[in-house]
A and B are shown apart, each in its own frame.
Chain A
C-alpha cells in the first residue's frame, strides 16, 4: 500500500498491527476515547521500599508486560541500567520496553536484554550506536515502533501503549511520591516526558537518592499517582545530564547558516511583537539564539514564549526580558535545568501539553517559528532524522514532527556533511513530511517550499541570502560529492515510523551488508 508521501508500506504488517497509512498533516477534530489506568488503592503509609528487587516483586511484574522509563537524565542515567540489569538477572522474558527515548548510556544494556530474550518489543523516540546497529541488522525480531514525543503522549492516552509498570528516576521525592526534578543531587529541571507515564501507568515506581520531608512541593509527580518509592544510592551523574556550560560554535559554516536562519526569521511576517519560537539544541541552533537576540534588541521586539527542549541561552533571553515565558518539556543543559528552581516564568509542561495532536490544543499549535535539523531533506522537503547515510538507525524523532507544525518551520542543515549530501532526491526514511516544512537554510542559500508562495515576497530579496529551488540545492550538493550508490536493504522491516497521529509514515528495513 502506498501512503500519501509515496512510501510503499507492507500490507500484511499494516493489517497485523492495525495501521492506517499516513494521509495528511491536518489533525482535524476526531473524537477520541482515552484509556484509563488501573489503580491499586492505598492509603500511602508503606510506599517506601528498600530495593529495586523488592519493588519488582511488589508491583507484580510478569513476563510479557510493558515497562517504561524516561530519558531526562540523558547520558547521566543510572536508573535505567540498574533496573534492567535486575530484570535480566531475574530472568524475565518477552517484555515490551516503552521509554520516552533511549540515550547512548542505555545501549549496551538494551542489547544485552534483547540477546537474553528479556526485551522482545521496543517503542521509543529513537535509537543510536550499537543498539541502532543491532536492530538495523535484524537483531530484534519485532520491528521497533518509533514515535515523536507528542505521539508517545497520544499513544499512551489512547491505550496504543499500555504501560504496566513505569520506573521513573527522580532527583527527589517524599516517602509517598510527591516529586520534582529541581532539587537534589542530579537535577534535570523539567519532568515533562515522565509526567505522562506517572498519569497513565498501572503501577508507578519512583526511584530517588534524595528523600524529602512530607509534603514535598512543588510536586510535579503527585502522591496520588505513585505506588512505590525506592531509595537508591544515586539516580544519575549530574555532570553528564547536560553538556555543562553551553559553548557557542566557532565553525564558520554553522555561523553562516545561523546568520541566514536569523535573516529568514526576521524578514518573515512572523517576526513581530509577541512572537514565539523553538530553537532546540546543537551548535547552529544556539548561534541562531544569539543572532536572534541582537535582532530583537535592535527592533525592540520581545517574544511571548519559547518552547521545547530548553538551553541556557534561552533562559538568558528570559532573564533579559526578551522572552516572556518558557514552556519547558525538557532541559538540554545544566544551566536550563538549574534555573527551573529559581525562575518563575520557566513553566514545566508535560509531553501532551507540549505536542500531543489528540488533545484540546497543544503548545506546538501556538508556535510561530521553529528551527529544526535534518540528516537528509529531499526535493519534496521530506526530512529524515532517523537513519544515517548507511541506512542504519542513528537518530530520534524527538519533537521534530510535532514542532514542525509551527507557522514558519525552518530546516537548518549544511549542504553536505563530509562526502554525504544533505539535500537528496529521496530521503532514506521519511520522518517529517514536506507539507510541514517551509524553508530550508544551507550555507549556500535557502529554498522555500513552493506550497508557501506567501513567503516568497518577504524572503526573496534578503541581502546575503540567495534563494534557490530545492532541486538546484540538490544539484549543488551532488556536484560536490558525486552520485552515491543506492543503499541495499533486505525485505525485513526493523522499525516503523509513525506520524504523530499514529498513522504509518515509513518503514525502515534491515540493511544488507
Chain B
C-alpha cells in the first residue's frame, strides 16, 4: 500500500521521537537520527521496518529524529504517522494495533 500524502507525528522533546513519512519511487528508506544510535540504532530500525510491514506500507521514506524514545513511544508515533499518511486517523487499523 502506498501512502496518500506526507504526514508527521511526534515532537523533538527529550524521550520522544518525531517521524515523517513521505512518498518516494522505489523501496522503503529509513533515515534515522538518534541520540542513542550507538546503543539502539539497529533495534529502532528493525522495529520501524516491522511496523511498516504490518501495515503493508511500501514506497515510503521514513525520516525520524529520535531523542531517546522507548520502543512503545516509537511504535505509537509511527502508527500515528502511518494513520495520518493514509487518511485513517479516525479509522484505526485495529488488527495491526492489536
Q: How far apart sit A420 and B42, CA to CA, in the bound complex (Å)?
A: 15
Judge if A480 is at the interface, Cβ distance under 8 Å.
yes
Q: Specify which of A418, A480, A481 is in contact with B67 (CB 8 Å cutoff).
A: A418
Q: Which residues of B contact A480 (CB under 8 A)?
A: 70
Judge if B39 is at the interface, Cβ distance under 8 Å.
yes
Q: Which residues of B contact A491 (CB under 8 A)?
A: none
Q: How far apart sit A256 and B14, CA to CA, in the bound complex (Å)?
A: 20
Q: Specify which of B15, B38, B42 lies most central, judged by the most chain A CB atoms within 10 Å of its CB.
A: B38
Q: How far apart sit A484 and B38, CA to CA, in the bound complex (Å)?
A: 8
Query: Is the Cβ of B40 less than 8 Å from the Cβ of A485?
Result: yes
Q: A418-B15, A419-B15 are in contact. Are A482 and B71 (CB under 8 A)?
A: yes
Query: Is the Cβ of B43 less than 8 Å from the Cβ of A482?
Result: yes
* Shortest CB distance B43–A (Å): 6
Q: Which residues of A contact B36 (CB under 8 A)?
A: 389, 418-420, 484
**What's the dominant secondary structure at chain A's contact region?**
loop
Using C-beta atoms within 8 Å of the partner chain, give the interface range for chain A.
10 to 19
Q: Which residues of B contact A482 (CB under 8 A)?
A: 40, 43, 71
Q: Specify which of A391, A417, A419, A488 is in contact with B40 (CB 8 Å cutoff).
A: A419
0/1 string, A28-54, CB within 8 A of B gives 1: 000000000000000000000000000
Query: Is the Cβ of B68 less than 8 Å from the Cβ of A418?
Result: yes
Query: Is the Cβ of A418 less than 8 Å from the Cβ of B39?
Result: no
* Shortest CB distance B42–A (Å): 7
0/1 string, B2-27, CB within 8 A of A gives 1: 00000000000011000000000000
Judge if A219 is at the interface, Cβ distance under 8 Å.
no
Query: Is the Cβ of A390 less than 8 Å from the Cβ of B38?
Result: yes
Judge if B52 is at the interface, Cβ distance under 8 Å.
no
0/1 string, A348-389, CB within 8 A of B gives 1: 000000000000000000000000000000000000000001
What number of B residues sit within 8 Å (CB to CB) of A? Answer: 15
Q: Which residues of B contact A484 (CB under 8 A)?
A: 36, 39-40
* Shortest CB distance A488–B (Å): 8
* Shortest CB distance A415–B (Å): 13
Q: Which residues of A contact B43 (CB under 8 A)?
A: 482, 485
Judge if B48 is at the interface, Cβ distance under 8 Å.
no
Judge if B35 is at the interface, Cβ distance under 8 Å.
yes
Judge if B62 is at the interface, Cβ distance under 8 Å.
no
Q: How far apart sit A482 and B70, CA to CA, in the bound complex (Å)?
A: 8
Q: How far apart sit A391 and B39, CA to CA, in the bound complex (Å)?
A: 10
0/1 string, A452-491, CB within 8 A of B gives 1: 0000000000000000000000000000111011011000
Q: Which residues of B contact A481 (CB under 8 A)?
A: 40, 70
Q: How far apart sit A252 and B36, CA to CA, in the bound complex (Å)?
A: 25
Judge if B69 is at the interface, Cβ distance under 8 Å.
yes
Query: Is the Cβ of A420 less than 8 Å from the Cβ of B68?
Result: yes
* Shortest CB distance B93–A (Å): 25
Closest residue of chain B to A418, judged by CB?
B68
Q: How far apart sit A485 and B38, CA to CA, in the bound complex (Å)?
A: 7
Interface positions, chain A 386-420, Cβ under 8 Å from B, are: 389-391, 417-420
Q: How far apart sit A481 and B68, CA to CA, in the bound complex (Å)?
A: 10
Query: Is the Cβ of A418 less than 8 Å from the Cβ of B35?
Result: yes
0/1 string, B27-41, CB within 8 A of A gives 1: 000000001101111
Chain B interface residues toward A at CB < 8 A: 14-15, 35-36, 38-43, 67-71
Chain A interface residues toward B at CB < 8 A: 389-391, 417-420, 480-482, 484-485, 487-488
New contact pairs (13) apart from A390-B38, A484-B40, A487-B39, CB-CB < 8 Å: A389-B36, A417-B68, A418-B15, A419-B39, A419-B68, A419-B69, A419-B70, A481-B40, A482-B43, A482-B71, A485-B39, A485-B41, A488-B38
